[in-house]
Amino acid sequence: MSDIAVVGAGSYGSCLAMLFGRAGHSVSLWCRNPETADAMQRTRATEQYLPGHTLPERVTVTSDLDSAVRGKQFVVGVTPSHGIRSVLGTAVKVMDPDAIVINASKGLDEGSLATIDRVYAEIFPERIAKRATFLSGPTFANEIAAGTPAAIVLAGRDEGTLKLAQEALTSLHFRIYRTDDVIGVLIGGALKNVVAIGAGVCDGLGFGSNTRVALMTRGLAEITRIGVALGAHPQTFAGLSGMGDLVLTCSGDASRNRRVGLALGRGKKMAEILAEMKQVAEGVKTAKVAHELATKLGVEAPIMEVMHAALHEGIPMREAVERLLARPVGSERD
């Protein structure tokens, strides 16, 4: 059994803490808000994000970041991607130098357009950064909390560390596959959120299944082009962190990004939608970064382009769709 810190007590961090606690690990769950942390520790409830589920006794909730991560064998980062530098950059000051960091956040760095592994290389000592691993795949938090079977992928560049983390954290209902394609896993996990907002827009506009599936398929082609341009293996995007996560996020009712798109398609304003949300929809910020990254790489990515225009430049949703439909037709493999 392992000592694990889970840094971030939103729905996904809480469900991972439940999963690891049920498996017999000793878990410290860090929650930014002291009042929320005290209530979760006292009542064992996670009503704000995962109503109806309770934390196992082996999970301790705290708002003290130092005590949460100090001496832990595994540190699982589940903060929104824009908070990685500030939170984990602080936590590393007291982390064990042999700690294995497992990233479960999805996104790209807005300022530098960097993938999360590159952010890790900036904030962590070389030993921790080189041995870091990256978790991604088609998993909704409420279903993990309920104990339903799921499969996910863990990426890393150090084979020994990767196998150690895989074997330690795999459980009966949480099957972890491993890969060395860190870039592919991170790009798939980040960019599928942009496509999911677009899929929600299509559903909100009433376009039906044909349109949604067309958008998902062409969206996967864009994700693959961008990933391969950065050095990813194309086969990764046919796997759990590519197609698997994309299908789930574009079609599942629990998808925050899809819900943003649904609301936009039904005529709500972005400011109103974000004000009503309890958690971050990463695809909103990622749309801007994805568009800038595709432009920098010289990769054709029309879906990323129109989603950026719709989310950050204010063009109407129907106009965004019309821009896509008006493009010249070409070869599917281009």
Domain residue limits, the chain? 3-180, 183-325
Cβ 80 vs Cβ 48: under 8 Å? no
Q: How many helices (H) and strands (E) does the chain have?
A: 16, 8
Distance (Å, rounded) from C-alpha 121 to C-alpha 125?
A: 7
The whole-number pLDDT of residue 277 equals 80
Tokens of 67: 């005590």
Largest CA distance in the chain: 60
The whole-number pLDDT of residue 17 equals 98
Is the model's pLDDT at 278 over the cut of 80?
A: no
Q: Which CATH superfamily is domain 3-180 in?
A: NAD(P)-binding Rossmann-like Domain (3.40.50.720)
Tell me which of 6-20, 65-79, 179-193, 310-324 is least confident.
Answer: 310-324
Is the model's pLDDT at 334 over the cut of 80?
A: no
Is the model's pLDDT at 27 over the cut of 90?
A: yes
The whole-number pLDDT of residue 276 equals 85
Active site annotation includes 296: no
Distance (Å, rounded) from C-alpha 215 to C-alpha 211?
A: 6
Nearest to 303 by CA among 232, 212, 234, 235: 212
The whole-number pLDDT of residue 271 equals 85
Domain 183-325: which CATH number of 1.20.910.10, 3.10.20.30, 3.40.50.10780, 1.10.1040.10: 1.10.1040.10
Is the model's pLDDT at 62 over the cut of 90?
A: yes
Give the model confidence (pLDDT) of 213-260 as tens digits.
999 999 999 999 999 999 999 999 999 999 999 999 999 989 999 999
Query: Which residue in 72, 192, 285, 288 is the catalytic one?
Result: 192
Cβ 213 vs Cβ 270: under 8 Å? no
- Alpha-carbon radius of gyration of the chain: 19
